[in-house]
Structure 1
Amino acid sequence: MATVPTIRLNNGVEIPQLGFGVFQIPPDQTAEATRTALEVGYRHIDTAQMYGNEKGVGAGIRDSGIPREEVFVTSKLNNNRQSRDDVLRSFDETLAQLGFDQLDLFLVHWPLASVSDYVARWKAMEEIYASGRVRAIGVSNFQPHHLRNLFAGTEVRPAVNQIEAHPYLGNDEARTFNAQHEIATEAWAPIAKGRVTGDPVITQIAERVGKTPAQVTLRWHVQRGDVVFPKSVTRSRVEENFDLFDFELDEAAMAAITGLDRGERTGPDPDTFAYIPD
Protein backbone atom coordinates (compact mmCIF):
# COMPACT_ATOMS: atom_id res chain seq x y z
CA MET A 1 0.00 0.00 0.00
CA ALA A 2 1.34 3.42 -0.98
CA THR A 3 2.36 5.90 1.69
CA VAL A 4 0.47 9.14 1.16
CA PRO A 5 2.63 12.25 1.73
CA THR A 6 1.54 14.72 4.36
CA ILE A 7 1.63 18.50 4.52
CA ARG A 8 2.45 20.30 7.76
CA LEU A 9 -0.14 22.96 8.51
CA ASN A 10 0.81 26.32 10.02
CA ASN A 11 0.09 25.05 13.54
CA GLY A 12 2.19 21.90 13.11
CA VAL A 13 -0.66 19.45 12.43
CA GLU A 14 0.07 16.96 9.63
CA ILE A 15 -2.65 16.46 6.97
CA PRO A 16 -2.54 13.65 4.37
CA GLN A 17 -2.23 15.21 0.92
CA LEU A 18 -4.68 12.73 -0.64
CA GLY A 19 -8.10 12.26 0.90
CA PHE A 20 -11.53 10.88 0.10
CA GLY A 21 -14.44 13.25 -0.48
CA VAL A 22 -18.04 12.34 0.35
CA PHE A 23 -19.82 15.28 -1.33
CA GLN A 24 -23.13 14.08 -2.88
CA ILE A 25 -22.74 10.55 -1.53
CA PRO A 26 -26.18 9.67 -0.11
CA PRO A 27 -26.23 9.32 3.68
CA ASP A 28 -27.28 5.66 3.47
CA GLN A 29 -24.24 4.88 1.29
CA THR A 30 -21.66 6.96 3.12
CA ALA A 31 -20.63 4.43 5.77
CA GLU A 32 -19.89 1.79 3.12
CA ALA A 33 -18.08 4.29 0.87
CA THR A 34 -15.97 5.51 3.78
CA ARG A 35 -15.12 1.97 4.86
CA THR A 36 -14.14 1.08 1.28
CA ALA A 37 -11.87 4.13 1.02
CA LEU A 38 -10.15 3.19 4.28
CA GLU A 39 -9.67 -0.39 3.08
CA VAL A 40 -8.02 0.95 -0.08
CA GLY A 41 -5.62 3.03 2.02
CA TYR A 42 -7.09 6.52 2.43
CA ARG A 43 -6.60 8.05 5.86
CA HIS A 44 -8.24 11.43 5.21
CA ILE A 45 -12.01 11.91 4.86
CA ASP A 46 -13.63 15.22 3.86
CA THR A 47 -17.28 15.84 4.77
CA ALA A 48 -19.47 18.82 5.71
CA GLN A 49 -22.56 19.62 7.71
CA MET A 50 -24.31 20.61 4.47
CA TYR A 51 -23.67 17.15 2.95
CA GLY A 52 -25.89 15.51 5.57
CA ASN A 53 -23.65 12.45 5.83
CA GLU A 54 -21.37 13.07 8.80
CA LYS A 55 -23.04 10.22 10.69
CA GLY A 56 -22.13 7.80 7.91
CA VAL A 57 -18.51 8.95 7.94
CA GLY A 58 -18.25 8.24 11.65
CA ALA A 59 -19.91 4.86 11.26
CA GLY A 60 -17.63 3.91 8.37
CA ILE A 61 -14.53 4.75 10.39
CA ARG A 62 -15.73 2.70 13.36
CA ASP A 63 -16.72 -0.22 11.11
CA SER A 64 -13.27 -0.21 9.47
CA GLY A 65 -11.53 -1.13 12.71
CA ILE A 66 -8.86 1.49 12.03
CA PRO A 67 -8.03 3.52 15.14
CA ARG A 68 -9.70 6.93 15.14
CA GLU A 69 -6.35 8.71 15.61
CA GLU A 70 -5.11 7.27 12.31
CA VAL A 71 -7.85 8.92 10.22
CA PHE A 72 -7.84 12.67 9.51
CA VAL A 73 -11.42 13.98 9.28
CA THR A 74 -12.59 17.38 8.05
CA SER A 75 -16.07 18.88 8.30
CA LYS A 76 -17.43 22.31 7.41
CA LEU A 77 -19.79 24.81 8.95
CA ASN A 78 -23.23 24.93 7.34
CA ASN A 79 -24.16 28.22 5.65
CA ASN A 80 -27.25 28.60 7.87
CA ARG A 81 -25.15 28.70 11.06
CA GLN A 82 -24.19 32.36 11.36
CA SER A 83 -24.48 33.63 14.93
CA ARG A 84 -21.83 32.79 17.50
CA ASP A 85 -24.18 30.50 19.40
CA ASP A 86 -25.28 28.72 16.21
CA VAL A 87 -21.66 28.11 15.21
CA LEU A 88 -20.75 26.70 18.62
CA ARG A 89 -23.89 24.57 18.79
CA SER A 90 -23.41 23.24 15.26
CA PHE A 91 -19.89 22.10 16.08
CA ASP A 92 -21.29 20.14 19.03
CA GLU A 93 -23.76 18.57 16.60
CA THR A 94 -20.96 17.64 14.20
CA LEU A 95 -19.03 15.85 16.94
CA ALA A 96 -22.22 14.03 17.97
CA GLN A 97 -23.02 13.00 14.38
CA LEU A 98 -19.50 11.70 13.84
CA GLY A 99 -19.32 10.13 17.28
CA PHE A 100 -15.99 11.87 18.01
CA ASP A 101 -14.53 13.71 20.97
CA GLN A 102 -12.26 15.74 18.69
CA LEU A 103 -12.30 16.75 15.02
CA ASP A 104 -9.13 17.17 12.98
CA LEU A 105 -10.17 20.15 10.84
CA PHE A 106 -13.25 22.39 10.78
CA LEU A 107 -13.83 24.90 7.97
CA VAL A 108 -16.13 27.85 7.30
CA HIS A 109 -17.77 26.47 4.16
CA TRP A 110 -18.45 29.74 2.26
CA PRO A 111 -17.75 33.42 3.00
CA LEU A 112 -21.34 34.53 2.15
CA ALA A 113 -20.11 38.12 2.27
CA SER A 114 -23.38 39.58 0.99
CA VAL A 115 -25.54 37.99 3.68
CA SER A 116 -23.40 37.32 6.74
CA ASP A 117 -20.38 38.52 8.73
CA TYR A 118 -17.74 35.89 8.09
CA VAL A 119 -15.31 37.63 10.45
CA ALA A 120 -17.76 37.10 13.31
CA ARG A 121 -18.20 33.46 12.30
CA TRP A 122 -14.43 33.06 12.30
CA LYS A 123 -14.20 34.45 15.83
CA ALA A 124 -16.58 31.68 16.93
CA MET A 125 -14.32 29.21 15.12
CA GLU A 126 -11.41 30.58 17.15
CA GLU A 127 -13.34 29.78 20.33
CA ILE A 128 -13.82 26.19 19.16
CA TYR A 129 -10.12 25.91 18.38
CA ALA A 130 -9.18 27.29 21.79
CA SER A 131 -11.35 24.61 23.43
CA GLY A 132 -9.05 21.90 22.05
CA ARG A 133 -11.91 19.98 20.45
CA VAL A 134 -10.57 20.61 16.96
CA ARG A 135 -6.94 20.28 15.94
CA ALA A 136 -7.06 22.97 13.22
CA ILE A 137 -9.51 25.43 11.70
CA GLY A 138 -9.70 26.88 8.23
CA VAL A 139 -11.91 28.26 5.50
CA SER A 140 -13.34 27.16 2.19
CA ASN A 141 -13.98 29.22 -0.95
CA PHE A 142 -12.33 32.35 0.47
CA GLN A 143 -10.75 34.80 -1.94
CA PRO A 144 -7.65 36.83 -0.97
CA HIS A 145 -9.75 39.88 -0.08
CA HIS A 146 -11.85 37.76 2.30
CA LEU A 147 -8.69 36.50 3.97
CA ARG A 148 -7.25 40.00 4.33
CA ASN A 149 -10.40 41.01 6.20
CA LEU A 150 -10.00 38.00 8.48
CA PHE A 151 -6.38 38.87 9.21
CA ALA A 152 -7.35 42.41 10.18
CA GLY A 153 -10.00 41.40 12.68
CA THR A 154 -8.99 38.06 14.20
CA GLU A 155 -6.04 36.31 15.82
CA VAL A 156 -5.83 32.76 14.42
CA ARG A 157 -4.61 32.38 10.84
CA PRO A 158 -6.62 29.78 8.87
CA ALA A 159 -4.64 26.56 8.45
CA VAL A 160 -6.39 25.65 5.20
CA ASN A 161 -8.32 27.28 2.35
CA GLN A 162 -10.33 24.77 0.35
CA ILE A 163 -11.04 26.20 -3.11
CA GLU A 164 -12.16 24.99 -6.52
CA ALA A 165 -9.03 24.16 -8.50
CA HIS A 166 -8.34 21.97 -11.52
CA PRO A 167 -6.56 22.30 -14.88
CA TYR A 168 -9.33 24.49 -16.29
CA LEU A 169 -9.28 26.72 -13.18
CA GLY A 170 -5.78 26.93 -11.75
CA ASN A 171 -6.95 29.54 -9.22
CA ASP A 172 -3.34 30.63 -8.93
CA GLU A 173 -4.05 34.04 -7.41
CA ALA A 174 -5.70 32.39 -4.41
CA ARG A 175 -3.12 29.58 -4.26
CA THR A 176 -0.25 32.09 -4.30
CA PHE A 177 -1.87 34.20 -1.59
CA ASN A 178 -2.42 31.09 0.51
CA ALA A 179 1.22 30.06 0.15
CA GLN A 180 2.47 33.53 1.03
CA HIS A 181 0.51 33.37 4.29
CA GLU A 182 1.28 29.74 5.20
CA ILE A 183 -2.25 28.55 4.41
CA ALA A 184 -2.48 25.12 2.78
CA THR A 185 -4.54 24.92 -0.42
CA GLU A 186 -7.08 22.14 -0.78
CA ALA A 187 -8.59 21.56 -4.22
CA TRP A 188 -12.23 20.62 -4.64
CA ALA A 189 -13.56 19.44 -8.04
CA PRO A 190 -9.95 18.42 -8.81
CA ILE A 191 -10.82 16.88 -12.18
CA ALA A 192 -13.47 19.56 -12.95
CA LYS A 193 -16.27 17.05 -12.32
CA GLY A 194 -14.84 14.85 -15.07
CA ARG A 195 -14.55 17.57 -17.71
CA VAL A 196 -10.77 17.42 -18.01
CA THR A 197 -10.51 13.65 -18.44
CA GLY A 198 -11.24 13.96 -22.16
CA ASP A 199 -8.85 16.85 -22.76
CA PRO A 200 -6.37 15.91 -25.53
CA VAL A 201 -3.38 17.30 -23.65
CA ILE A 202 -4.17 15.22 -20.58
CA THR A 203 -5.10 12.07 -22.48
CA GLN A 204 -1.83 12.20 -24.44
CA ILE A 205 0.18 12.54 -21.24
CA ALA A 206 -1.82 9.68 -19.71
CA GLU A 207 -1.02 7.42 -22.67
CA ARG A 208 2.67 8.28 -22.40
CA VAL A 209 2.96 7.51 -18.68
CA GLY A 210 0.60 4.53 -18.68
CA LYS A 211 -1.99 6.06 -16.36
CA THR A 212 -5.57 7.28 -16.70
CA PRO A 213 -6.41 10.96 -17.34
CA ALA A 214 -7.87 11.20 -13.84
CA GLN A 215 -4.68 9.82 -12.28
CA VAL A 216 -2.55 12.25 -14.29
CA THR A 217 -4.71 15.18 -13.19
CA LEU A 218 -4.63 14.16 -9.53
CA ARG A 219 -0.86 13.66 -9.75
CA TRP A 220 -0.57 17.20 -11.16
CA HIS A 221 -2.35 18.47 -8.04
CA VAL A 222 -0.09 16.48 -5.74
CA GLN A 223 3.09 17.71 -7.39
CA ARG A 224 2.04 21.34 -7.23
CA GLY A 225 1.34 20.99 -3.52
CA ASP A 226 -2.46 20.84 -3.33
CA VAL A 227 -4.34 18.68 -0.84
CA VAL A 228 -6.82 16.80 -2.98
CA PHE A 229 -9.78 14.49 -2.28
CA PRO A 230 -11.49 12.83 -5.25
CA LYS A 231 -14.73 10.99 -4.55
CA SER A 232 -16.44 7.92 -5.98
CA VAL A 233 -18.70 5.13 -4.76
CA THR A 234 -17.17 2.65 -7.23
CA ARG A 235 -14.37 0.62 -5.61
CA SER A 236 -12.32 0.34 -8.80
CA ARG A 237 -12.39 4.12 -9.21
CA VAL A 238 -11.56 4.65 -5.53
CA GLU A 239 -8.53 2.38 -6.02
CA GLU A 240 -7.55 4.15 -9.24
CA ASN A 241 -7.66 7.56 -7.56
CA PHE A 242 -5.37 6.28 -4.80
CA ASP A 243 -2.78 4.88 -7.21
CA LEU A 244 -0.80 8.09 -7.69
CA PHE A 245 2.54 7.48 -6.07
CA ASP A 246 4.42 5.16 -8.41
CA PHE A 247 4.97 7.78 -11.14
CA GLU A 248 5.88 11.44 -11.59
CA LEU A 249 5.05 14.02 -14.22
CA ASP A 250 8.03 15.77 -15.78
CA GLU A 251 8.28 19.54 -16.02
CA ALA A 252 6.94 19.59 -19.57
CA ALA A 253 3.84 17.62 -18.60
CA MET A 254 3.24 19.80 -15.55
CA ALA A 255 3.55 22.95 -17.65
CA ALA A 256 1.26 21.59 -20.34
CA ILE A 257 -1.49 20.82 -17.84
CA THR A 258 -1.05 24.15 -16.07
CA GLY A 259 -1.37 25.83 -19.46
CA LEU A 260 -4.93 24.53 -19.84
CA ASP A 261 -6.19 27.14 -17.37
CA ARG A 262 -9.09 29.10 -18.84
CA GLY A 263 -10.72 30.42 -15.67
CA GLU A 264 -13.62 28.01 -16.01
CA ARG A 265 -15.54 27.26 -12.83
CA THR A 266 -17.72 24.20 -12.34
CA GLY A 267 -19.23 25.66 -9.18
CA PRO A 268 -20.40 29.02 -7.81
CA ASP A 269 -18.37 32.21 -7.67
CA PRO A 270 -17.38 32.77 -4.02
CA ASP A 271 -17.92 36.51 -4.40
CA THR A 272 -21.61 36.14 -5.31
CA PHE A 273 -22.69 32.78 -3.84
CA ALA A 274 -25.32 33.39 -1.16
CA TYR A 275 -27.10 30.06 -0.70
CA ILE A 276 -28.58 29.56 2.75
CA PRO A 277 -30.23 26.14 3.24
CA ASP A 278 -33.46 25.81 5.21
Structure 2
Amino acid sequence: MSILNETYTLPGGIEIPKLGLGTWFIDDDQAADAVRAAVEIGYRNIDTAQAYGNERGVGEGVRASGVSREDLFVSTKLAAEVKDYDGAVAAIDESLSTMGLDYIDLFLIHAPQPWEDFRNGDYADGNAQAWKALEEAHQAGKIRAIGVSNFLQSDLDSLLETATVTPHVNQLLVHAGNTPSELLSYCESKGILVEAYSPIAHGEILDNPDVKTMAEAYGVTVPQLCIRYTIQLGTVSLPKTANPDHMRSNAEVDFTISDEDMGALRGLHDQDYGESAAFPVYSGK
Protein backbone atom coordinates (compact mmCIF):
# COMPACT_ATOMS: atom_id res chain seq x y z
CA MET A 1 0.00 0.00 0.00
CA SER A 2 1.42 3.35 -1.04
CA ILE A 3 1.83 6.07 1.57
CA LEU A 4 -0.38 8.20 -0.70
CA ASN A 5 -3.32 5.94 0.25
CA GLU A 6 -2.68 6.03 4.01
CA THR A 7 -4.63 8.40 6.25
CA TYR A 8 -5.11 9.56 9.81
CA THR A 9 -8.61 10.18 11.14
CA LEU A 10 -9.58 13.56 12.56
CA PRO A 11 -12.53 14.15 14.91
CA GLY A 12 -15.80 13.62 13.08
CA GLY A 13 -14.31 10.77 11.05
CA ILE A 14 -12.60 13.05 8.53
CA GLU A 15 -9.65 11.29 6.88
CA ILE A 16 -6.48 13.26 6.15
CA PRO A 17 -3.74 11.70 3.98
CA LYS A 18 -0.44 11.12 5.80
CA LEU A 19 1.56 12.70 2.96
CA GLY A 20 0.66 16.03 1.41
CA LEU A 21 2.01 18.59 -1.01
CA GLY A 22 3.31 21.80 0.53
CA THR A 23 3.06 24.84 -1.77
CA TRP A 24 5.13 27.41 0.12
CA PHE A 25 7.23 29.42 -2.38
CA ILE A 26 5.29 28.11 -5.40
CA ASP A 27 4.20 31.15 -7.41
CA ASP A 28 0.50 31.61 -8.04
CA ASP A 29 0.91 31.18 -11.79
CA GLN A 30 2.72 27.86 -11.26
CA ALA A 31 0.53 26.49 -8.47
CA ALA A 32 -2.24 25.07 -10.67
CA ASP A 33 0.22 23.00 -12.70
CA ALA A 34 1.95 21.79 -9.53
CA VAL A 35 -1.34 20.72 -7.97
CA ARG A 36 -2.51 18.97 -11.14
CA ALA A 37 0.80 17.11 -11.38
CA ALA A 38 0.64 16.07 -7.74
CA VAL A 39 -2.92 14.80 -8.04
CA GLU A 40 -2.03 12.86 -11.20
CA ILE A 41 0.82 11.19 -9.27
CA GLY A 42 -1.62 10.26 -6.52
CA TYR A 43 -1.44 13.05 -3.95
CA ARG A 44 -4.76 13.87 -2.32
CA ASN A 45 -3.61 16.34 0.36
CA ILE A 46 -2.79 19.89 -0.77
CA ASP A 47 -1.63 22.61 1.66
CA THR A 48 -1.54 26.35 1.04
CA ALA A 49 -2.00 29.61 2.99
CA GLN A 50 -3.20 33.15 2.49
CA ALA A 51 0.37 34.30 3.11
CA TYR A 52 1.72 32.16 0.26
CA GLY A 53 -0.14 34.28 -2.30
CA ASN A 54 -1.05 31.23 -4.38
CA GLU A 55 -4.55 30.28 -3.21
CA ARG A 56 -6.02 31.19 -6.60
CA GLY A 57 -3.65 28.87 -8.43
CA VAL A 58 -4.07 26.07 -5.91
CA GLY A 59 -7.84 26.32 -6.22
CA GLU A 60 -7.60 26.24 -10.00
CA GLY A 61 -5.44 23.13 -9.80
CA VAL A 62 -7.92 21.43 -7.48
CA ARG A 63 -10.87 22.24 -9.74
CA ALA A 64 -9.01 21.14 -12.88
CA SER A 65 -7.43 18.02 -11.38
CA GLY A 66 -9.98 15.59 -12.80
CA VAL A 67 -10.50 14.09 -9.34
CA SER A 68 -13.74 14.50 -7.39
CA ARG A 69 -13.56 17.34 -4.89
CA GLU A 70 -14.57 15.03 -2.03
CA ASP A 71 -11.53 12.86 -2.76
CA LEU A 72 -9.13 15.77 -2.16
CA PHE A 73 -8.09 17.29 1.18
CA VAL A 74 -7.35 21.00 0.81
CA SER A 75 -5.90 23.15 3.61
CA THR A 76 -5.26 26.85 3.91
CA LYS A 77 -4.30 29.23 6.70
CA LEU A 78 -5.61 32.49 8.08
CA ALA A 79 -2.96 35.19 7.73
CA ALA A 80 -1.02 35.57 10.99
CA GLU A 81 -1.84 39.28 11.12
CA VAL A 82 -5.61 38.67 11.38
CA LYS A 83 -6.33 38.81 15.11
CA ASP A 84 -9.93 40.02 15.21
CA TYR A 85 -13.30 38.33 14.69
CA ASP A 86 -14.62 40.44 11.81
CA GLY A 87 -11.32 40.30 9.98
CA ALA A 88 -11.20 36.52 10.35
CA VAL A 89 -14.78 36.08 9.10
CA ALA A 90 -13.97 38.17 6.03
CA ALA A 91 -10.67 36.38 5.41
CA ILE A 92 -12.29 32.93 5.57
CA ASP A 93 -14.86 33.94 2.97
CA GLU A 94 -12.13 35.53 0.87
CA SER A 95 -10.15 32.27 0.78
CA LEU A 96 -13.22 30.34 -0.33
CA SER A 97 -13.84 32.92 -3.07
CA THR A 98 -10.20 33.13 -4.16
CA MET A 99 -9.87 29.35 -4.37
CA GLY A 100 -13.24 28.93 -6.04
CA LEU A 101 -14.22 26.16 -3.63
CA ASP A 102 -17.50 25.48 -1.84
CA TYR A 103 -15.66 24.33 1.28
CA ILE A 104 -12.14 23.96 2.65
CA ASP A 105 -11.14 20.76 4.40
CA LEU A 106 -8.82 22.32 6.97
CA PHE A 107 -8.38 25.97 7.96
CA LEU A 108 -5.57 26.95 10.35
CA ILE A 109 -4.54 30.08 12.21
CA HIS A 110 -1.10 30.51 10.64
CA ALA A 111 0.73 31.70 13.76
CA PRO A 112 -0.09 32.77 17.32
CA GLN A 113 1.47 36.19 16.67
CA PRO A 114 1.74 38.39 13.57
CA TRP A 115 5.01 37.63 11.75
CA GLU A 116 6.43 41.06 12.60
CA ASP A 117 6.07 40.18 16.29
CA PHE A 118 6.62 36.41 16.06
CA ARG A 119 7.20 34.74 19.46
CA ASN A 120 6.61 38.09 21.18
CA GLY A 121 3.59 39.89 22.57
CA ASP A 122 0.31 38.61 23.96
CA TYR A 123 -2.27 37.96 21.26
CA ALA A 124 -4.45 35.56 23.26
CA ASP A 125 -7.57 37.67 22.78
CA GLY A 126 -6.95 38.05 19.06
CA ASN A 127 -6.44 34.31 18.68
CA ALA A 128 -9.65 33.66 20.61
CA GLN A 129 -11.54 35.98 18.26
CA ALA A 130 -10.05 34.38 15.14
CA TRP A 131 -10.79 30.94 16.57
CA LYS A 132 -14.43 31.88 17.17
CA ALA A 133 -14.70 32.79 13.48
CA LEU A 134 -13.19 29.44 12.51
CA GLU A 135 -15.51 27.56 14.88
CA GLU A 136 -18.55 29.27 13.33
CA ALA A 137 -17.38 28.56 9.77
CA HIS A 138 -16.80 24.95 10.82
CA GLN A 139 -20.30 24.76 12.28
CA ALA A 140 -21.71 26.26 9.08
CA GLY A 141 -20.01 23.63 6.91
CA LYS A 142 -17.65 26.04 5.16
CA ILE A 143 -14.71 24.24 6.79
CA ARG A 144 -14.54 20.52 7.63
CA ALA A 145 -11.76 20.78 10.23
CA ILE A 146 -10.01 23.63 12.04
CA GLY A 147 -6.61 24.03 13.60
CA VAL A 148 -3.57 26.14 14.26
CA SER A 149 0.03 26.42 13.12
CA ASN A 150 3.23 27.29 14.98
CA PHE A 151 1.36 27.19 18.33
CA LEU A 152 3.46 26.32 21.38
CA GLN A 153 1.91 24.66 24.44
CA SER A 154 1.36 28.05 26.10
CA ASP A 155 -0.45 29.29 22.98
CA LEU A 156 -2.65 26.20 22.93
CA ASP A 157 -3.40 26.47 26.64
CA SER A 158 -4.53 30.08 26.16
CA LEU A 159 -6.73 29.15 23.21
CA LEU A 160 -8.33 26.23 25.05
CA GLU A 161 -9.47 28.54 27.86
CA THR A 162 -12.25 29.90 25.62
CA ALA A 163 -12.45 27.44 22.71
CA THR A 164 -15.52 25.26 22.30
CA VAL A 165 -13.69 23.08 19.76
CA THR A 166 -10.19 21.75 20.47
CA PRO A 167 -7.93 22.32 17.46
CA HIS A 168 -7.93 19.27 15.24
CA VAL A 169 -4.42 20.03 13.94
CA ASN A 170 -1.26 21.93 14.86
CA GLN A 171 1.09 22.43 11.90
CA LEU A 172 4.68 22.76 13.11
CA LEU A 173 8.26 22.90 11.88
CA VAL A 174 9.28 19.27 12.48
CA HIS A 175 12.24 17.52 10.89
CA ALA A 176 15.21 15.35 11.77
CA GLY A 177 17.35 17.85 13.66
CA ASN A 178 14.36 19.73 15.05
CA THR A 179 11.96 17.40 16.87
CA PRO A 180 9.88 19.21 19.52
CA SER A 181 9.19 16.01 21.45
CA GLU A 182 7.45 17.62 24.43
CA LEU A 183 5.12 19.62 22.20
CA LEU A 184 4.38 16.55 20.08
CA SER A 185 3.47 14.60 23.22
CA TYR A 186 1.32 17.44 24.50
CA CYS A 187 -0.60 17.66 21.22
CA GLU A 188 -1.12 13.90 21.25
CA SER A 189 -2.48 14.11 24.81
CA LYS A 190 -5.05 16.65 23.62
CA GLY A 191 -6.02 14.68 20.52
CA ILE A 192 -4.39 17.27 18.25
CA LEU A 193 -2.80 15.82 15.10
CA VAL A 194 0.54 17.40 14.20
CA GLU A 195 1.44 18.25 10.62
CA ALA A 196 5.16 18.55 9.88
CA TYR A 197 6.04 21.34 7.47
CA SER A 198 9.52 21.59 5.93
CA PRO A 199 10.29 17.94 6.82
CA ILE A 200 13.48 18.25 4.79
CA ALA A 201 14.63 21.24 6.91
CA HIS A 202 14.26 23.75 4.07
CA GLY A 203 16.63 21.47 2.12
CA GLU A 204 19.56 22.27 4.38
CA ILE A 205 19.71 18.77 5.95
CA LEU A 206 20.77 17.29 2.60
CA ASP A 207 24.38 17.97 3.56
CA ASN A 208 24.27 16.42 7.04
CA PRO A 209 26.83 13.56 6.91
CA ASP A 210 25.14 11.42 9.58
CA VAL A 211 21.77 11.63 7.88
CA LYS A 212 23.36 10.90 4.48
CA THR A 213 25.04 7.79 5.89
CA MET A 214 21.79 6.56 7.43
CA ALA A 215 19.87 7.14 4.20
CA GLU A 216 22.48 5.17 2.25
CA ALA A 217 22.10 2.26 4.68
CA TYR A 218 18.37 2.10 3.84
CA GLY A 219 19.01 2.54 0.12
CA VAL A 220 16.97 5.74 0.03
CA THR A 221 17.57 9.45 -0.48
CA VAL A 222 17.94 11.93 2.38
CA PRO A 223 14.55 13.51 1.58
CA GLN A 224 12.90 10.08 1.61
CA LEU A 225 14.48 9.27 4.98
CA CYS A 226 13.40 12.62 6.42
CA ILE A 227 9.83 12.31 5.15
CA ARG A 228 9.57 8.75 6.47
CA TYR A 229 10.90 9.97 9.83
CA THR A 230 8.11 12.52 10.23
CA ILE A 231 5.47 9.98 9.24
CA GLN A 232 6.79 7.46 11.78
CA LEU A 233 6.57 10.21 14.40
CA GLY A 234 2.83 10.09 13.75
CA THR A 235 2.62 13.39 11.87
CA VAL A 236 1.32 14.39 8.47
CA SER A 237 4.36 15.16 6.29
CA LEU A 238 4.16 18.18 3.97
CA PRO A 239 7.25 18.41 1.75
CA LYS A 240 7.03 21.35 -0.63
CA THR A 241 7.94 21.10 -4.30
CA ALA A 242 6.70 22.07 -7.75
CA ASN A 243 8.86 19.40 -9.40
CA PRO A 244 6.87 16.27 -10.41
CA ASP A 245 10.00 14.10 -10.19
CA HIS A 246 10.52 15.21 -6.60
CA MET A 247 6.82 14.62 -5.88
CA ARG A 248 7.17 11.02 -7.06
CA SER A 249 10.39 10.46 -5.14
CA ASN A 250 8.93 12.01 -1.97
CA ALA A 251 6.09 9.47 -2.08
CA GLU A 252 8.44 6.47 -2.33
CA VAL A 253 8.74 6.01 1.42
CA ASP A 254 7.35 2.52 1.91
CA PHE A 255 10.15 1.37 4.21
CA THR A 256 10.50 1.33 7.98
CA ILE A 257 13.13 3.14 10.02
CA SER A 258 14.32 1.02 12.95
CA ASP A 259 13.60 2.08 16.53
CA GLU A 260 17.33 2.64 17.05
CA ASP A 261 17.62 4.93 14.05
CA MET A 262 14.39 6.75 14.97
CA GLY A 263 16.00 7.44 18.35
CA ALA A 264 19.13 8.76 16.68
CA LEU A 265 17.11 11.07 14.43
CA ARG A 266 15.02 12.26 17.39
CA GLY A 267 18.20 13.17 19.23
CA LEU A 268 19.76 14.99 16.29
CA HIS A 269 20.07 18.76 16.63
CA ASP A 270 20.67 20.45 13.29
CA GLN A 271 18.94 23.79 12.91
CA ASP A 272 21.44 25.56 10.68
CA TYR A 273 19.16 26.59 7.82
CA GLY A 274 21.79 28.59 5.96
CA GLU A 275 20.18 30.91 3.44
CA SER A 276 16.77 29.60 4.58
CA ALA A 277 17.24 30.90 8.12
CA ALA A 278 15.03 33.98 7.66
CA PHE A 279 12.01 32.69 9.53
CA PRO A 280 9.29 33.65 9.59
CA VAL A 281 9.70 34.45 5.93
CA TYR A 282 6.71 36.80 5.85
CA SER A 283 8.19 39.31 8.27
CA GLY A 284 10.78 40.72 5.93
CA LYS A 285 13.47 39.85 8.47
TM-score between both structures, scaled by the size of structure 2: 0.90
1:62 corresponds in structure 2 to 63
Aligned residues of 2:227 and 2:237 also touching (Cα < 8 A): yes
- Residue 231 of structure 1 aligns with which residue? 240
Count of equivalent residues: 272
Q: Distance in 1 between matches of 2:188 and 2:11?
A: 11
Q: Pick closer, same or farther for the CA change 1:275–1:114 going to 2, 3 Å.
A: farther
Q: Is the 8 A contact 1:49 1:76 kept in 2?
A: yes
Q: Check conservation: 1:87, 1:121, Cα contact below 8 A.
A: yes
Q: 2:121 aligns with which of 106, 114, 127?
A: 114
| Conservation of the 8 A alpha-carbon contact between 2:198 and 2:240 | no
Q: Say if 2:220 is the partner of 1:211.
A: yes
Question: Which 4+ runs in 1 deviate beyond 6 A?
Answer: none
CA deviation map 1:138-177 (0-9, x unaligned): 0000000111111111211000000111111101121111
Distance 1:262 1:200 in 2: 11
Contact 1:107-1:137 at 8 Å conserved across structures: yes
Cross-structure match for 1:198: 207
Aligned in 2, Cα 1:267/1:248: closer, same or farther, shift over 3 Å?
A: farther
Take 2:148 and 2:158, find their aligned partners in 1: how far apart are those partners? 13
Paired amino acid for 2:21: F
Query: 2:84, 2:127 within 8 Å by CA — same for their partners in 1?
Result: no
Corresponding residue of 1:11: 12
| Displacement after TM superposition at 1:274 (Å) | 9.6
Q: Give 1:85's aligned residue.
A: 86
Q: 2-side partners of 1:249 and 1:165: how far apart?
A: 17
Equivalent pair of 1:44/1:73 in contact (CA under 8 Å):
yes
Q: Distance in 2 between matches of 1:115 and 1:148?
A: 13
Deviation, structure 1 residue 184: 0.3
SS of the aligned residue for 1:106 comes to: strand
SS at match of 2:64: helix
Distance in structure 1 (CA, Å) of the matches to 2:25 and 2:270: 26
Tell me which amino acid in the other structure corresponds to 1:36.
Answer: A
Q: SS in structure 1 opposite 2:87? A: helix
Counterpart among 266, 269, 284 of residue 258 in structure 1? 266
The letter of the residue matching 1:185 is V
1:132 to 119, 141, 162: 141
Q: Distance between the aligned counterparts of 2:155 and 2:6, measured in 1? A: 29
What amino acid is aligned across from residue 49 of structure 1 in structure 2?
A: Q
Rounded to whole Å, the distance in 2 between the matches of 1:11 and 1:183 is: 13
Q: In the aligned structure 2, how far is the partner of 1:181 from the partner of 1:82? A: 24
Amino acid at match of 1:128: A
Is 1:176 the equivalent of 2:185? yes
Residue aligned with 1:244, SS:
coil
Query: Matched residue of 2:19: which SS?
Result: coil
Identical residues among aligned pairs (%): 38
How far off is 1:82 after superposition?
2.5
Aligned equivalents of 1:268, 1:123: Cα separation in 2: 28
C-alpha distance 190-267 of structure 1, shift in aligned 2 (>3 A): farther
AA aligned to 1:252 is: E
Which amino acid letter does the alignment assign opposite residue 176 of structure 2? Answer: P
C-alpha separation in 1, matches of 2:165 and 2:144: 13
Per the TM alignment, residue 267 of structure 1 is displaced from its structure 2 partner at its CA by 6.0
Q: CA deviation at 1:83?
A: 2.0
AA paired with 2:37?
Answer: T
Alignment of 1:141-180 (within 5 A): 141-180=150-189
- Which one is further off, 78-87 or 122-131? 78-87
Is residue 11–residue 159 contact of structure 1 (8 Å, CA) maintained in 2?
no
Q: In 2 relative to 1, CA 267–16 (structure 1 residues): closer, same or farther, beyond 3 Å?
A: farther
Give me the whole-angstrom Cα distance separating, in 2, the residues matched to 1:232 and 1:275: 22
- TM-score, normalised via structure 1 length: 0.92
> How far, CA to CA, are the matches of 2:248 and 2:135 in structure 1?
37
Gaps spanning 5+ residues in structure 2: where?
A: 114-119
Which stretch shows the higher mean deviation, 55-64 or 37-46? 55-64
Partner SS state of residue 135, structure 1: strand
